[in-house]
Amino acid sequence: MVSDAAPLTRRRALQLATSLVAAGGTALLAGCGAEQSAADQARSGDRKGYVSGDGTIEQIPPGSRRDPVRLSGTTLEGRPWSNADLRATVLVVNVWGSWCPPCISEAADLQKAWESVQRRRLPVRFLGLDKMETPATGLSFQRQHRITYPSLAYDGGVPILALQGKAVATPTTLVLDTSARIAARVSGPVTASVLTGLIDDVLSKG
């Protein structure tokens, strides 16, 4: 499903949606958590205080994008990180948790997309935002899945608050343009082909 607000041609939208299905058949299914309201999930007390993602792809035209996102925090390795240090760079932000099955299933695709942009020497960086767990747990997951881009520690959810309400589902992947404005979002698990397509669109159209 593609948001009506996305400035996509019908053919491009179908290509992205088809890629999601072809990549595993489950990418358009709900993300973490049963199909219930956010309030019900939060009240359940079973560590499912998050909302399901249905694989919706949203692209935001440059004229409709909000203010720049200011992200900062401490990586899982304990080093300070801020996107204020980035210049003329597209930033991919993935909200994840090791306890989230769709996050586990998409980890290899995210790493594949990261390796692809590095090979192509594109002005793109990746950043994970670990959610609802300790840095040690997140770091173990990162090493197990051989993820080579950094992730920020949860820190009570402070880094996620900077995402302007665009990361309700877990997982969520955002593509920020070179001005640090949110240009695209996948609410739910993402595939390497869909993500690289979104990145290319942002690089080519601004």
At 89, which CATH number? 3.40.30.10
Residue 119 pLDDT > 60: yes
- Give residue 186's domain range: 10-205
Cα–Cα distance measured from residue 203 to residue 21, given in angstroms and rounded to the nearest whole number: 24
* Mean model confidence pLDDT for the chain: 81
Give the pLDDT band of residue 45 (cuts 50, 70, 90). Answer: very low
N- to C-terminal Cα distance for the chain? Answer: 23
The radius of gyration of the chain's CA atoms, rounded to the nearest angstrom, is: 16
**DSSP character at residue 68:** P
In this structure, is residue 1 part of a structural domain? no
Provide the 8-state DSSP code for 69: P
Distance in angstroms (rounded) separating the CA atoms of residues 195 and 58: 12
Q: How many domains does one find in the chain? A: 1
In a domain, 107, yes or no: yes
Residue 2 inside a domain? The answer is no
101 occurs within a structural domain:
yes
Quote the CA–CA distance of 149 and 57 in Å, as a whole number: 23
Domain-embedded: residue 5? no
Kindly report, residue by residue over 84-112, the tens digit of the pLDDT: 989 899 999 999 999 999 999 999 999 99
Average pLDDT over residues 133-144: 97
Backbone angles phi, psi at 96, to 5 degrees: -150, 170
165 found inside a domain? yes
